[in-house]
Structure 1
Amino acid sequence: MVYGIGTDICDVRRIRASLERHGDRFAHKILAEGELATWRSRSARWPERGIRYLATRFSAKEAFSKAVGLGMRMPMTWRSCEIAKLPSGQPVLVLHGPLKEWFEAKGLVAHVTVTDETDYAASFVVVERKEPRE
């Protein structure tokens, strides 16, 4: 059963401006530890790719916060919600701390997709309540 749906479109230029204004502090506020490592690696090879990576993560976390109905209030925090990927490249949500506990206690499961183009990053999240096993 669908619990919630969230979508978000992020202007990559806005993320670029935030990085220019606040430096790495902005990325540290938004990204979990695993995401920070990927962001640093991508930014070192191709700075624009790093900016788009940060924009997709920002967008996916916004979409997730909408799908669960919390917005950006506890237990939802930027760093407690991580967008990782499977070996196939499929993005997956990895939750941490109180957000993970809250999510699991409600019996929820999430599906996420992200995409980016030159000026925009977009994400879509569907959260379902697990069906009880009979």
Structure 2
Amino acid sequence: MIYGIGTDICDVRRIRASLERHGERFAARVLAEGEYRTWQQRSARWPERGVRFLATRFSAKEAFSKAIGLGMRMPMTWRHCEVVNLPSGKPGVRLHGELQRWCEARGLQIHLSVTDESDYAASFCVVETMHQNGSSCLSPLVE
């Protein structure tokens, strides 16, 4: 059963401007540890790729926060929501801390799609509740 749906579009130019204004502190505020390491690697090789990576993560977290109905208030935090790639390449969400416990208590599963073009990153998130038997009709949360 669908718990919530969220979508977000992010202007990559705004993310670039925030990075220019605040430097790595901006990325460190938005990205979980694993995302931050990936961002540093991509930025070192090709700075524009790092900006786009950060924009897609920003957009995905916004879409997720809307789908769960919390916005950016506890237990939802930027760093407790980590966007990862499953072995298939499909994007997924790994939760941490209180946000993970909050979602587990509600039996939530997360499905995410992200995309980007030169000036925009967009995300779509569907959050569902698990069936009575503990199974889901879609893919499970990332462990």
Structure 1 ranges of 4+ moved more than 4 A: none
Determine if the alignment matches structure 1 residue 47 to structure 2 residue 47. Answer: yes
Alignment of 1:3-22 (within 5 A): 3-22=3-22
Determine if the alignment matches structure 1 residue 122 to structure 2 residue 122. Answer: yes
CA offset digits 1:28-87 (Å, max 9, x no partner): 000000000110111011100000000000000000000000000000000000000112
SS in 1 for 2:82: strand
* Cα distance between partner residues in 1 of 2:95 and 2:63: 14
CA RMSD of aligned residues (A): 0.8
User: What is the number of equivalent residue pairs in this alignment?
Assistant: 134
SS in 2 for 1:15: helix
Alignment of 1:50-61 (within 5 A): 50-61=50-61
* Cα distance between partner residues in 2 of 1:89 and 1:38: 15
In structure 1, the residue matched to 2:62 is: 62
* Cα distance between partner residues in 2 of 1:74 and 1:130: 23
In structure 2, the residue matched to 1:78 is: 78
Q: Alpha-carbon deviation of 1:88?
A: 1.6
TM-score by length of 2: 0.92
The one-letter amino acid paired with 2:94 is V
* Cα distance between partner residues in 1 of 2:49 and 2:88: 20
* Cα distance between partner residues in 2 of 1:85 and 1:93: 8
SS in 2 for 1:122: strand
- Percent of counterpart pairs with the same letter? 72
TM-score by length of 1: 0.99
Specify every segment of 5 or more residues in structure 1 that has no aligned partner in the other structure, as ranges.
none
* Cα distance between partner residues in 2 of 1:5 and 1:105: 19
Specify every segment of 5 or more residues in structure 2 that has no aligned partner in the other structure, as ranges.
135-143
In structure 2, the residue matched to 1:98 is: 98
* Cα distance between partner residues in 1 of 2:133 and 2:88: 28
SS in 2 for 1:65: helix
